[in-house]
Structure 1
Amino acid sequence: MRQGTLLYAQSGGVTAVINATASAVIQEARARGVKVLAARNGILGALREDLIDTSREPISAIRALAHTPGGAFGSCRYKLKSLQQDAARYDRLLAVLQAHGVRWFLYNGGNDSADTALKVSELARERGVELSCIGVPKTIDNDLAVTDTCPGFGSAAKYTAVSVREAALDVAAMAETSTRVFIYEAMGRHAGWLAAAGGLAGSGPDEAPQVILLPERAYDEAAFLAKVRAVVDQVGYCVVVASEGIATADGTFVADAGGGKDSFGHTQLGGVAAHLAGRVKDQLGLKVHWTVPDYLQRSARHIASKTDLEQAQAVGRAAVRLALAGHNGVMPVIVRSSDKPYRWKIESAPLAKIANHEKKMPASFIRKDGFGITDKARAYLQPLIKGEAPLPYGPDGLPKYVTLKNVGVKKKLEPFDA
């Protein structure tokens, strides 16, 4: 067995395939004789020295993680500030890692997690601590820089496209005497990737969704209402996919929930579909239905993309290999070689080029009128939702997911208030 322990932690909102990454990490490390600890509830577990011994889990359970949604070890929305502002927490984190012989730290998350992994790698280098910090990509928002796509996005995109297509068939059937406008709210604060994926539900000019609202374009209510009216007059009904992060020209979120900031400093959003539905009903007099799938988008493992599952596992294996090879402050990223046929590979990229950089939809992906996606966007999105990822079902008709024992390791340090 190699000398040292690997610590794995999950961060932020979980996905349908983040556990597939965890499964790949643990299996790759085991194959190389490395013990894996997991932080309970992400970075909070590391700070509290609340660590899980994954070696207590049978290989069957670790393999079953690959088809189990959620976050097997618990995740959290908790962002460490600068090395100066949060010096005590960074000192504590290094102390915990050293107390448990951790030489390799893998942090599986989005942009803020990449930033934390980068800071920890810099601090370890500065202190002369033998530690490799590797960021592992994950987010359904698909907004990480450098990587072509983010594990978790493809499955959420597939769920969105399928749901919009199915709902559109329902609306089309009922439009003559009932609902004329249906509004689907997709996740996405500053980047409209998930809303754009809804555009895959149709291809022709009159096929649903006929309107997509993206945060990359300023929301103009008059233009939106005019578009909806025109579509209803021509098609008989209108399906709208709206990103939760759409904002007016002055930067005001249309769906600012008024709930203050979350732990990452983000404005709490919610209710854009309800708001738009109200405006359509009041201004156009049309019957409207709306939906907010919310967590369903990121937990729908039953309709996961095969491409997404394979990429989630690939970055997990690559992260372990990079760590054991002595790399520090890097992330395994997905590089697209071609669209047709779709080919991709894994490379390494510096966390400094990923942390605090947000990848938005390029202008070439957005239709000139701002209400749809282009063929270039389809060429990018389509391969990411392809293929099915079957999972076992039980006699009750429900998927057979796994719940780990998550046995904790004995603490060696004094308690710490994170």
Structure 2
Amino acid sequence: MPMAAGTLLYAQSGGVTAVINATAAAVIERARRHGLRVLAGRNGILGVLREELIDTTPLPASTVKRLGQTPGGAFGSCRFKLGSLEADRARYERLIEVLRAHDVRWFLYNGGNDSADTALKVSRIAEEFGYPLTCVGVPKTVDNDLAVTDTCPGFGSAAKYTAVSVREAALDVAAMAETSTKVFVYEAMGRHAGWLAAAAGLAGEGADDAPHIILFPERAFDEAAFFAKVRETVERVGYCVVVASEGIRTADGAFVADAGGGKDAFGHTQLGGVASYLAGRVKDALGYKVHWTLPDYLQRSARHLASATDLEQAVAVGHAAVDYAVKGRNAVMPVIVRKNDRPYRWTVEPAPLADIANHERTMPDDFIREDGYGITEAARRYLQPLIRAEAPPRYGRDGLPRYVQPRLATVPTRLPPFEV
């Protein structure tokens, strides 16, 4: 099919996921079907501002396909937030200059809340300048905190990794509890929303199954009540597995694990170390031997344990985003709509970016157990389908996954340098 007039630009923002490359591959494959050339911003919106645009045209179809089985973010990402149209006008004008210089008529921005906001603002500045541009947001985040969409691509795989890791670690702790570790603390990502911590609840079903305690950002952390729950669990079960979201707060709103590193580019407090902090407090207060873990990037990079459901949804939103763009559906995002729990049925539909940008979805009250330390059956019905089925990558003779790192060349610049 001959190339259509105009170019599609794809960029990524925020933390990557185990399946974000699958979305990128889906975008490239679908765009090629429409006869579109695809450029990708190197390191997200920063690459667009710097006019560092990767030409995906030379990538063979076989490489694009393998990209869909590779974790990380092949084109790079960034934590860089554009301000309001008034406060950051010079940057928005630069974006339009770059898009105009490379005849970009369709812009796809893959990310979370802040990315949806940026895509919406770019659509508005393009309209103000009279530049013909269709902007589509693409959902992605392991935190699962985007509004409107039933779930976010990237979350299902991170949730599967969390549930599996907690179940396996719990078996290890149970084997050693008689003479060694009594308490194990697992730290899950989640600044304001406890979705990943909740996913750990899938590791067990009975009252004595791990995790015995889940600490959610949606509930104020009460240290005395926590100690009492740990002691009661150890005395009843013989050991206690705790899953703590990194964003748990005390009743006064202070983060338990404020790392003291200031704010990131999105204005978020730098967190880290809640597991080590809780482990130290439990050891000092209760005298138990404690181990803890901080999986950190492992939660979002574990492509070897990806959820097949998550992978399918990551591909679906990539395809839909291109289709929406080509049809001129401006300032929308393809979102996942759940049709049924059992059997699990879902579809993809367009939603206005204005309904998504900067709206954060936390855990519903009826997903958190009445005592605040576990998930309900409603949460289990929601979560379980998202981690279902496996989608392992191809392995090589060396016993390692055959991931691909394609050589990526940028197109020649057409504008003067710009200081970001």
TM-score between the two structures when normalised by the length of structure 1: 1.00
1:154 Cα deviation from its structure 2 partner: 0.1
Residue 362 of structure 2 is aligned to residue 352 of structure 1: no
TM-score between the two structures when normalised by the length of structure 2: 0.99
What residue in structure 1 maps to residue 9 of structure 2? 7
1:154-303 correspondence to structure 2 within 5 Å: 154-303=156-305
Q: Distance in 1 between matches of 2:65 and 2:409?
A: 18
1:190 Cα deviation from its structure 2 partner: 0.1
- Look up the equivalent residue of 2:86 and give its one-letter code: Q
Q: Distance in 1 between matches of 2:364 and 2:400?
A: 40
What residue in structure 1 maps to residue 315 of structure 2? 313
Q: Distance in 2 between matches of 1:356 and 1:30?
A: 32
Deviation sequence 1:2-21 (CA, Å, 0-9, x none): 21100000110000000000
1:405 Cα deviation from its structure 2 partner: 1.1
What residue in structure 2 maps to residue 25 of structure 1? 27
CA RMSD of aligned residues (A): 0.4
Maintained 8 Å contact 2:110/2:139:
yes
Q: Distance in 2 between matches of 1:219 and 1:3?
A: 56
Q: Distance in 2 between matches of 1:381 and 1:128?
A: 44
Deviation sequence 1:185-224 (CA, Å, 0-9, x none): 0000000000000000000001000000000000000000
Q: Distance in 2 between matches of 1:200 and 1:390?
A: 20
Deviation sequence 1:17-72 (CA, Å, 0-9, x none): 00000000000000110000000000000000000000011111101111100000
Q: Distance in 1 between matches of 2:398 and 2:136?
A: 40
- Look up the equivalent residue of 1:334 and give its one-letter code: I
Maintained 8 Å contact 2:303/2:392:
no
**What secondary structure is seen at the aligned counterpart in 2 of 1:36?**
strand
Q: Distance in 2 between matches of 1:310 and 1:125?
A: 34
Q: Distance in 1 between matches of 2:410 and 2:358?
A: 33
Residue 133 of structure 2 is aligned to residue 131 of structure 1: yes
In structure 1, list runs of 5 or more residues that go unmatched: none
Residue 379 of structure 2 is aligned to residue 388 of structure 1: no
1:35-46 correspondence to structure 2 within 5 Å: 35-46=37-48
What residue in structure 2 maps to residue 98 of structure 1? 100
**What secondary structure is seen at the aligned counterpart in 1 of 2:57?**
helix
What residue in structure 1 maps to residue 338 of structure 2? 336
- Look up the equivalent residue of 1:22 and give its one-letter code: A
Deviation sequence 1:113-163 (CA, Å, 0-9, x none): 000001001111122110001000000000000000000000000000000
Maintained 8 Å contact 2:21/2:68:
yes
What residue in structure 1 maps to residue 412 of structure 2? 410
Q: In percent, how many aligned pairs have the same letter?
A: 74
Structure 1 moving runs of 4+ over 4 Å: none
Q: Distance in 1 between matches of 2:304 and 2:222?
A: 37
Q: Distance in 2 between matches of 1:368 and 1:185?
A: 22
Q: Distance in 2 between matches of 1:194 and 1:122?
A: 34
Number of residue pairs aligned between Structure 1 and Structure 2: 418
- Look up the equivalent residue of 1:172 and give its one-letter code: A
In structure 2, list runs of 5 or more residues that go unmatched: none
